[in-house]
Chains A and B, each alone.
Chain A
Amino acid sequence: MKLEDALAFTEKCFNGEPASCSFACPFHLDIRAFLDKAEKGKWASAYKALESAVAFPLTVSLLCDAPCEHHCQRVQLGDEPIAMTMLEAAVVRYAGSKRARRYVIPPKEGRVAIVGAGAAGLACALGLARKRISVTVFEREPEYGGALRRHPRFAEMSGDIKLQFEAVDAEFCFGREIKSLGELADYNAVYVATGAGGEHFGLLDGWKDDAFTGGADGVFLGGELTGASVVEGIARGGAAAQSIEAFLQVGRVTRLHGGYDREGCERYVAHDGAARAPRVTPSSPDGYTEDEAIREAARCLQCDCDRCMTSCEMLRAFRKRPHKIATEVYTDQNANPPYSSHTLTRETYSCNMCGYCKSVCPEGVDIGALLRLSRAQRMSAGKEPAALHDFWLREMDFNSGEAALCEPPPGAQTCEYVFFPGCQLGASNPEHVRGAYGLLRSAGGGAGIYLGCCGAPAWWAGDDKRFMANFAAIRRNWENMGRPVFVFACATCAGVFDAFAPDIRSVSLYELLDDREVAGHAGELTRAVVFDPCSARARDGMRAAVRGLLRRAGIRTEELADRGRCCGYGGQMRVANPKLFDEIVNSRASMSDEPYIVYCANCREVFASHGKRCAHVLDVALGLKPQERVPSISEKRRNSLSLKEEFMMSDRDARPYRAASAWDAVTLIIDGRLREDMDRNLISEDDVREAIFSAEESGDVFVDAGDGTRMCSMVKPVLTYWARYRCVSRDTYEVLDAYYHRMRFESNSQS
């Protein structure tokens, strides 16, 4: 992956771009930063920002007609724009010491002549002199100022100008009129700013606005001579100084835009929820008091798009901006600890990949897709923290292997429809799959059953190789079944198929049930909130069908203000960031006090495990009592296998429905508290059973000489599991503790 590949994901993101006011400012002053300093009463700091951008702060504050105010986004709320002119004056007034800064840099090569000591010529001269470029200003009048001298407050402006030039070296030749450019042959560049109607040495017709040049090599024009206003002249004089500096360095004329790659701001930010605030009126005709200026500066909305960062808990927690994330996705792939570190790991693996950031972004930037790319890059380079996804990849292998079944209806080789409930629906509640498949079959049309995994866990882990192999197997089975229409109960499965097999036709189970006007049973639920899974955000048909089913059952449904949020399960980030996982789940669970009706087995499990009352829409459609508890990992595996056994056709029952394990005969006694702890840490009873069985068989056991309890370990490819237990009778053990670690130890290393 090249840097450009990562940056392409955030190319359209305009976070960090100058605000609309700065685009409008002739000086491109960073008005957000300026007002942020003013709001904090940091007058000296605000003054420095102003001085750096506008050359002559007081002069500009007296002359500028503030075009920024026409682009202030406060207007969108119905307020008056920020009073920039008055705030600039206040900053100049309260800044205290205004001693101009002296730049300690070595002098640069090249000599520049400025023709005209008016506002534009002075601004250009100051810009060059600040860079330690030798500059000589020629002025036919005996004094500087040009048109400014006619201003009633020129005395103050003159002080402002003197102040700035005190800190730099610049030569002034007053009373010297330049009549021909030949007189300036000793100079490497010339800036002509002779004022309105002034001498242009025949270059004005060829003058180009974008590069300040007039056709002659090294001669630049600006100021009122070129039709600019005085303020524009000062702004462009500063910009011309940058162009001249570049010309001296490379011998070519380039226009430096300083991050402003276009004329105006095309993208205004939505300010939903921002409170209106009237403009602060100064109590004195002299302008704002300090307190008034602070209050006025505080009206600035600090316009910058951060929708994704304020909407998503994960992005908010890590506080990294989209462009920075993109850069770090690139640098992380090349990190080589301990010589160089990954900087994005925890964030990469904490993402729900739910697409919510994309849905709120005005430009549709998908940070989740970028972070998935990071996971895939690291996986293909063998640099992934495998422990963070090991559990789900093992479950996926089980669901696509031992628990998988692809079966046409009895007596048929092919089918018109095949029900693909997804790996979790039956694992979580086999009645859902049993009942839904029963309804599909009772309607005729020949529906087969396909128990398996769509591959989402591999996709989320960034294991593209495993994902593609799984999907190739699905496609083969689909072909063998006569290319049936897939019936999905899980929106994530549907999304995977849409993306990777658009030629496979599909429909959601809920739409089929709704079409068939399944009556359903409300049970104890008369009122509920529908919690749409994030994967159904763009599935209008599925969402409407679920509501149709609930309406028919007589349940009054309410809608959440913010729909399509991830329950917390997405992206399988729970191991990478358990604290954030709980925060997200609790946040979603508290979006409404009403019970939720979900149509994703993972949403149900996540909410039920966090104490949120919820039911699956299939409970309603099938008239089942909603489950309150979440089955353990091993119970889920047993549920999946029992469905497989049940759906295997009797005439083919010679096939074993599951692989027998030597430790099947082992019985474990586990108390409720430990079982909860194991489930929370994703330790399955089967793993503990295997560990104890293998240890007891081999004799690799530790025994506590005090109480006789035993300990054993089992090394799996990614994790090492431990169990502390007590023998109750032959093949029966009471488990006292179970845990794992990710590190490996070398058993043979002796001290």
Chain B
Amino acid sequence: MADSSWRCARCDEALTARKTVFTYLGQSFTHEVLRCPKCGRVLIPPELARGKMAEVEEQLEDK
């Protein structure tokens, strides 16, 4: 899956990597993910959800 080929169907815009605020268990941090430049909707690819995100989620749960 080539991330750069994803488009927002509603806005008909190509998604671009932008900083996004994430929160979990009361803690916040920022990370660059694909978003629609117009409406701001975020796309989380599976490898991010199953990889880095899951890892950080577990770390925060253990804190």
Question: Which positions in A face B, CB cutoff 8 Å?
Answer: 337-338, 341-342, 345-346, 385, 387-388, 699-706, 709-711, 713, 720, 722, 724, 737, 739-751
Q: Verify B23–A743 contact, CB threshold 8 A.
A: yes
The 8 A CB mask of B34-53 against A (1 = contact, 0 = none) is: 00000011111010011001
What residues of B have a CB within 8 angstroms of the CB of A385 in the complex?
25, 61
Neighbouring B residues of A737 by C-beta, 8 Å: 46
Task: Give the distance to chain B from A379, nearest Cβ to Cβ, in Å.
Answer: 14
Known contacts A337-B25, A338-B63, A746-B20, A722 near B49 by CB under 8 Å:
yes
Given contacts A704-B5, A710-B9, contact A388 B61 (CB under 8 A): yes
Q: Which of B11-63 contact A (CB under 8 A)?
A: 14-15, 18-27, 30, 33, 40-44, 46, 49-50, 53-54, 56-57, 60-63
Knowing A337-B63, A387-B57 are in contact, say whether A700-B10 is a contact too (CB < 8 A): yes
A338 contacts across to B, CB distance below 8 A = 27, 63
The chain A residue sitting closest to B2, CB to CB, is A706
Contact flag A741-B54 (CB < 8 Å), given A341-B63, A702-B43, A746-B20 = yes
Q: Report whether A751 and B18 are in contact in the complex, using a CB–CB cutoff of 8 Å.
A: yes
Instruction: Write out the residue numbers on chain A whose beta carbons fall within 8 Å of the beta carbon of B10.
Output: 699-701
Q: Closest A-chain residue to B36, C-beta based?
A: A702
Known: A702-B9, A710-B9. Contact between A745 and B20, CB under 8 A? yes
Q: Shortest Cβ distance from A360 into chain B, in angstroms?
A: 28
A740–B21 CA distance with the chains assembled, in angstroms: 18
What residues of chain A lie closer than 8 Å to B62, measured between beta carbons? 341-342, 345-346
Complex Cα gap A676–B3 (Å): 26
Please indicate the chain B residues that have their CB under 8 angstroms from the CB of A702 in the complex: 6-9, 15, 41, 43
The 10 closest A-B pairs by CB, nearest first: A751-B19, A749-B21, A743-B24, A701-B9, A706-B5, A741-B49, A746-B21, A385-B61, A751-B18, A341-B63
Alpha-carbon gap, A747 to B14, bound state (A): 16
Known A705-B7, A706-B2, A722-B46: A742·B63 in contact at CB below 8 Å: no
Contact check, B22 vs A743: say whether CB atoms are below 8 A apart. yes
On whether the beta carbons of B63 and A704 are closer than 8 Å, the reply is no
B60 vs chain A, min Cβ distance (A): 8
CA distance A65 to B33 in the complex (A): 75
Contact A742 to B24, CB < 8 A, known contacts A702-B15, A749-B19: yes
Report B-chain residues with C-beta under 8 Å of the C-beta of A724. Answer: 1, 46
Tell me, rounded to whole Å, the shortest Cβ–Cβ distance linking B21 to chain A.
4
CB distance from B59 to the nearest CB of A (A): 11
Question: What B residues does A744 contact at CB under 8 A?
Answer: 22-24
Residue of B nearest to A343 (CB): B62
B22: A residues at CB distance < 8 A: 743-746
Complex CA distance for A705 and B12, rounded to whole angstroms: 10
**What chain A residues lie within 8 Å of B50 (beta carbons)?**
739
Contact A699 B9 (CB under 8 A): yes
- Report the bound CA distance from A91 to B40 in whole Å: 74
Residue of B nearest to A388 (CB): B61
Residues of A within 8 A of B14 (CB): 705
Nearest-neighbor residue (CB-CB) of A746 within chain B: B21
Q: List 5 A-B contacts (CB under 8 A).
A: A342-B62, A385-B25, A699-B9, A739-B50, A745-B42
The answer to whether B33 touches A745, judged by C-beta atoms less than 8 angstroms apart, is: yes
Query: Main SS of chain B's interface residues?
Result: mixed
Q: Of the candidates B1, B18, B23, which one forms a contact with A750 in the assembled complex, judged by CB atoms under 8 Å apart? A: B18
Which residues on the A side are within 8 Å of B19 (C-beta)? 749, 751
A253 to chain B, nearest CB (A): 48
Report the separation of the CA atoms of residues A526 and B60 in the bound assembly, to the nearest whole angstrom: 51
In the assembled complex, the Cα of A700 lies from the Cα of B14 at a distance in Å of 14
Interchain CB contact under 8 A, B49 and A739: yes
| B23 and A700 contacting across the interface, CB-CB below 8 Å | no
B26: chain A residues at CB < 8 Å are: 337
**New A-B contacts (4) at CB < 8 Å, excluding given A711-B6, A750-B40:** A337-B63, A345-B62, A741-B49, A746-B22
Query: CA separation between A337 and B61, bound complex, in Å?
Result: 10
Q: Please, how many angstroms separate the alpha-carbon atoms of A468 and B12 in the complex?
A: 50
Across-interface contacts of B8 in A (CB, < 8 A)? 702
The distance in angstroms between the C-alpha atoms of A740 and B44, with both chains bound, is 9
Chain B contacts of A709 at CB under 8 A?
A: 1
Query: Measured between alpha carbons, how far is A600 from B6 in the docked complex, in Å?
Result: 47
Rounded to whole angstroms, the CA-CA distance of A574 and B18 in the bound complex is 35
A152, chain B: closest CB distance, angstroms: 63
B6→A704 contact, CB < 8 A: yes
Partner of A337, one of B18, B27, B49: B27
Knowing A724-B46, A737-B46 touch, does A743 contact B6 (C-beta < 8 A)?
Answer: no
Q: How far is it, in angstroms, between the C-alpha of A699 and the C-alpha of B10 when the chains are bound?
A: 6
Q: How far is the CA of A63 from the CA of B2 in the complex (A)?
A: 83
Report Cα–Cα, A387/B53, bound state, in Å. Answer: 14
Minimal Cβ-Cβ distance residue in B for A338: B27
The docked-state distance in angstroms from the alpha carbon of A302 to that of B60 is 38
The CA-CA distance from A737 to B18 in the complex, in Å, is 24
Query: In the assembly, what is the distance between CA of A701 and CA of B50, in Å?
Result: 21
Beyond A724-B46, A747-B40, whether A742 also contacts B9 by CB under 8 A is no
Q: What's the Cα separation between A706 and B54 when bound, in Å?
A: 28
A435 smallest CB distance to B (angstroms): 41
The interface centre, meaning the residue of A337, A338, A709, A741 with most chain B CB atoms within 10 A of its CB, is: A741
Whole-angstrom CA separation of A704 from B21 in the bound complex: 24
Q: What is the chain B residue whose CB lies nearest that of A681?
A: B50
* Residue pair B63, A743 in contact (C-beta under 8 Å): no
Q: Please state if A749 and B63 are interface contacts (CB–CB under 8 Å).
A: no
Bound-complex Cα distance A705 to B7 (A): 7
Q: A720: nearest residue on chain B (CB-CB)?
A: B44
CB distance from A329 to the nearest CB of B (A): 16
Q: With the chains together, A450 CA to B42 CA distance in Å?
A: 45
Residue of A nearest to B49 (CB): A741
Residues of B within 8 A of A703 (CB): 6-7, 9
- CB neighbours of B5 from chain A (8 A): 704-706
Contacts of B9 in A (CB 8 A): 699-703, 710
A65 to chain B, nearest CB (A): 53
Instruction: Say whether, besides A742-B24, A744-B24, A722 and B44 are in contact (CB < 8 Å).
Output: yes
A672 to chain B, nearest CB (A): 18
How near does chain A come to B3, taking the closest CB pair, in angstroms? 9
Instruction: Write the nearest CB–CB distance from B14 to chain A, whole angstroms.
Output: 8
CA distance A130 to B14 in the complex (A): 78
CB distance from B23 to the nearest CB of A (A): 5
- Find chain B residues with CB under 8 A from A746 CB: 20-23
- Which of chain B's residues have a CB closer than 8 A to the CB of A700? 9-10, 41
Contact indicator A741/B7 (Cβ below 8 Å): no
Least CB distance from B10 to A in Å reads: 5
Q: Which residues of A contact B53 (CB under 8 A)?
A: 741-743
Q: How far is the CA of A371 from the CA of B28 in the complex (A)?
A: 28
| Closest beta carbon of chain A to B50's beta carbon, Å | 6
Given A704-B1, A743-B24, A751-B19, A345 and B61 contact (CB-CB distance below 8 Å): yes
Give the complex CA separation of A740 and B46 in angstroms.
Answer: 8
Nearest CB in chain B: distance from A665 CB, A: 21
